[in-house]
Amino acid sequence: MQNARYIAAGLSDADMLWLLSVGKLRVLRPGETLVASGKPVADLFFVTDGRLEVRLDDGTRVAELHHGDVVGEMSFVERHSPLVSVVAAGPKPTEMLAIPRKLILDRFEQEPVFAARFYRALAVFLSERLRETTAAVRAQAKSLRDDKADKEARARFSRLFSKSGP
Ligand SMILES: Nc1ncnc2c1ncn2[C@@H]1O[C@@H]2COP(=O)(O)O[C@H]2[C@H]1O
């Protein structure tokens, strides 16, 4: 994902310090699986370095995630298991901060204002991701239109050339 922004942008400094204090650094080697499709996720992840690929069960690549991306937020919000897998893509190790969901949910109970800020930050993050998906689909549609126009122009040129030939 290009230009991803930390969900942290919508959180206060105190929220961030709390997340850093309860988070654990996790490092994955290229090829290691962070999230397996169909299996519940216990943590929310903030990618701090390296790359991850989001894959369908047949291996098709859906998206690439980098520094600044959040992983595991969909099943956190929806409360059901993920439909995709997320795998460290290399070439270097992928690093992230892993925050146990239970701790986040406990803090929601203790501090409802934190819950409001956190869900708003997640909503902005997901909206941004959807905007990027729309931009990618638009670019792909344009490229298909350009290819079609190019093919038609070549075919026309070939037709005219063969008519005017010896
Ligand atoms: N289309 C997508 N673009 C970017 N990230 C995705 C996409 N689909 C799934 N993910 C990420 O992959 C994660 C799989 O676990 P979750 O469903 O909890 O949360 C998901 C997101 O963090």
- The pLDDT tens digits of the residues spanning 74-94 come to 999 998 899 999 999 989 999
Residue 157 confidence (pLDDT):
86
Alpha-carbon distance values, 111 to 24, 79, 131 (Å): 22, 21, 31
Distance from residue 84's CA to the centre of ligand 1 (Å): 7
Residue 162 confidence (pLDDT):
83
pLDDT at 2 > cutoff 60? no
Q: Is the CB of 34 under 6 A from ligand 1?
A: no
Residue 74 confidence (pLDDT):
94
State which ligand 1 atom lies nearest to the alpha carbon of 86: 12
Q: Is the CB of 35 under 6 A from ligand 1?
A: yes
Please name the residues in contact with 22: beta carbons below 8 A apart, sequence gap of 6 or more: 99, 100, 103
pLDDT, mean over the chain: 91
Stated pTM of the model: 0.85
Tell me the per-residue pLDDT of 27-56, one tens digit each, with 9 for 90 and over. Answer: 999 999 999 999 999 999 999 999 999 999
Distance CA 52, CA 47 (A): 9
Residue 166 confidence (pLDDT):
61
Q: Is the CB of 74 under 6 A from ligand 1?
A: yes
Q: Is the CB of 36 under 6 A from ligand 1?
A: no
Complex-level ipTM: 0.98
pLDDT at 4 > cutoff 60? no
Rg of the chain on CA atoms, in Å: 22
Distance from residue 54's CA to the centre of ligand 1 (Å): 7
Most confident by average pLDDT, 5-14, 87-96, 152-161: 87-96
Mutate to test the pocket of ligand 1, among 1, 3, 41, 54 (most ligand atoms within 8 A of CB): 54
